Amino acid sequence: MLTITDLAVKFPSRFGDFTAIEDVDMVIKPGEIHGLVGESGAGKSTVGAAVIGLLQSPGYIAHGSLTLGDTDLRTLTPEQAHAVRGDRISMIFQDPQTSLNPLMTIEDQLIETIQAHADVSTAAARQRAVDLLEEIGIKNAAERIKAYPHQFSGGMRQRVVIALAICTDPELIIADEPTTALDVAVQSQVLKLIQRLAKDRKIAFMLITHDIGVIAQVADRVTVMRKGRVMETGETAQVLGAPRHPYTRALMDAVPPLDYRIDRFRVPQEEGADFERSLGQKAEDWLLAGVQGAPTGLTLQNLYVRFAGPRTSLFRKPEPYVALNDVSLTVRPGSIMGLVGESGSGKSTLAKAITGLVKPSDGTMILGDEVLPGGKARDRHHPSRQLVQMVFQDPYSSLNSRHRIGAVLEEPLWFYGFVKDADQRKELAASMLALVGMQPDAIDKYPHQFSGGQRQRIAVARALLARPRFLICDEPTSALDVSIQAEILNLLKDLQAKFGLTILFISHNLTVVRQMADDTAVLRNGKIEEIGKTEDVYERPQAAYTKSLLALTPVMQRASFAVAAHD
């Protein structure tokens, strides 16, 4: 039904035309969920935008054909193309928080869309809208339809977005990362809804995602893209179970499994690994000299963090918002403690409490055998400021973009008074870069000259140059592509083993924690639901919440696909 042949999209720039996608072929049949998977820069969203005719300016279709049924989409005038949008092709965006007009009720937005494509009375359009909302699982729709978008939760909002996309009975829906902004429980519901719509209404879906687990769960067919080109396309079971293209194979290797632990990810070729590792020897020796003695553990006892809630009345005291509720946990010296939880569970607050950015309202924190003062009570020269270091989530914001890498790396060295001599500092920083798998000459460059994965390596190097005993990794790979994630996880494992670091590893991703942690704590609404050895938590979960999290996490079970592919 949708046929893409030899599609190429280019963006003019000051370096000449930049080719975003090239040689893309794809066929999507009615009722089929066609996964389009790839890492950042693969051009998968550009394919979707080209099909619906909403390419970001100044991009243009250089050549190729796009046909929907017997309509050639490229020959349409702008007015005709706009009439096709919504009527025959619709789209679902990533973030339900921003996809709906905040100033209009759901009702107005639905009726307006229905009437844009069908000559029906307002009353009939309203009835259709209500029925549709009921169908996709919004209870009491006749009432709720009068609400504004901000009155719905994230998951409900994504349902409304889907209702808007299907209210005109389109043949094709382009879903661009439709579940990336959602928690796993909601993600699973939305995916089920998409599956049902494809089956019942014979809507074809182009499901654009970076998450192979999502593809494995719902896609009938899948196309793998890389750097603007199609690598492989076929039945989901075949592509994921018995990948033919080396890139697909490497991608599959980098996906962390949920049901067992692998020691090291197989990574085909690490970025910048083509130089002498021995350059890192100096940094290694320096670190080892500084971390003699037993590793340092951390104990939290009955920790509470309360924030002032939003003030809604002059007379009532605002309700405090409890971010952490009676959290007790012990990170054993030299081990990795995994901390999993959905957004808003308080994971990051915990990291901030330990690092002194947030003041706990109650409870004690003990690092090694010293009590850590909380918040402002911890003065600027407290030893923990050196012993505890952090690797942040967003490598694009964790390095000061106006400072050279050298300045970023040397800062801890002079700040903590480790190395007085400027030349030695530079030498050590360069060596540390080698240790984390970077070319030492990176020292004279600026952060924007590096990719996300490289920046995260630099961030790790900065943390190590403080000679930490306790490292907090707050979602260190969630901004990275899966193959880069595998490299960073390998790096962290290596460093932890070599230097006896104690690590608190925070992530929303259960599969990643499974690969990294010795012990795992599950956090929900600021409370610890379950804590124990990682194996026990994953294989014999006690808390109902842990069980449902594990059940809902989309996973790629290669074994089962491999079997299916052989049939």
- Please list, in sequence order, all residues whose beta carbon lies within 8 angstroms of the beta carbon of residue 15, skipping any fewer than 6 positions away: none
Helix axes 482-499, 246-254, angle to 10 degrees: 50
Q: Which of 74, 249, 306, 385 binds another protein (CB under 8 A)?
A: 385
* Nearest to another protein of 86, 256 (CB atom): 86
Our finding on whether 308 is near another protein (CB under 8 A) is no
Chosen residue from 116, 124, 185, 242 binding another protein by CB under 8 A: 116
**Strand 33-38 to 221-226 pairing:** parallel
- 148 near another protein (CB under 8 A): yes
Instruction: Report if residue 91 touches another protein, rule: CB under 8 A.
Output: yes
Our CB check for another protein shows the closer of 345 and 398 to be: 398
What DSSP letter does each residue of 513-534 carry, written as one string?
HHHH-SEEEEEETTEEEEEEEH
> Residue 378 Cβ, how far from another protein at the closest point, in Å?
8
Nearer to another protein, 165 or 429 (CB): 165
CB of 55 or CB of 267, closer to another protein:
55
Q: Is the torsion defined by CA of 174, 252, 549, 395 positive or negative?
A: negative
Instruction: State in angstroms the smallest separation of the CB of 95 from another protein.
Output: 6
Q: Is 104 in the site for another protein (CB under 8 A)?
A: yes
> If phi over 0 gives left and psi between -120 and 50 gives alpha, with beta otherwise, what is residue 106?
alpha
Q: Where are the alpha helices (DSSP H) in 233-280?
A: 236-241, 246-254
**Angle (nearest 5°) at CA 270 between 268 and 276:** 125
Are the C-beta atoms of 482 and 252 separated by less than 8 Å? Answer: no
Residue nearer to another protein on the CB measure, 274 or 420: 420
- Reduced to 3 states (helix: H, G, I; strand: E, B; else coil), residue 80 is helix
Stretch that binds another protein, among 223-231, 249-257, 392-400, 418-426 (CB under 8 A): 392-400
Contact in structure between 453 and 436 (CB atoms under 8 Å):
no
Binding-site member from 135, 253, 270, 411 for another protein (CB under 8 A)? 411
Beta bridge partners of 440: none
Smallest gap from Cβ 475 to another protein, in A, equals: 11
The CA distances from residue 288 to 218, 281, 285, 291, 410, in Å, are: 48, 10, 5, 5, 18
Query: Where in 464-483 is the site for another protein (CB under 8 A)?
Result: 466
* Residue among 255 and 408 whose Cβ is closer to another protein: 408
332 is an interface residue for another protein by CB under 8 A: no
Segment near another protein (CB under 8 A); pick from 205-213, 339-347, 353-361, 488-496? 353-361
Sign of the alpha-carbon torsion through 385, 345, 460, 497: positive
Looking only at residues 45 through 84 of this chain, which bind another protein when binding is defined by CB under 8 A? 52, 54, 82-84
The window from 98-106, 276-284, 332-340, 512-520 that contacts another protein (CB under 8 A) reads 98-106
Q: Which residues of 333-368 are buried (b: 16+ CB within 10 A; e: fewer)?
A: bbbbbbbbbbeebbbbbbbbbbbbebebbebebebb
Q: Give the C-alpha separation, 367 to 144, whole Å.
A: 50
Contacts of another protein in 190-249 (CB under 8 A): none
Would strands 221-226 and 229-235 be described as parallel, antiparallel, or unpaired? antiparallel
> Residues binding another protein: what is the number (CB under 8 A)?
70
Examine residue 181 and tell whether it contacts another protein (CB under 8 A): no
* Contact range with another protein by CB under 8 A, out of 59-67, 88-96, 336-344, 508-516: 88-96
Please report, as ranges, the residues that interact with another protein according to CB under 8 A.
14-15, 52, 54, 82-87, 89-91, 93-95, 98-105, 109, 112-113, 116-117, 147-148, 150-153, 161, 164-165, 168, 174, 311-314, 355-357, 379-382, 385-386, 388, 390, 392-394, 397-403, 411-412, 415, 462, 466
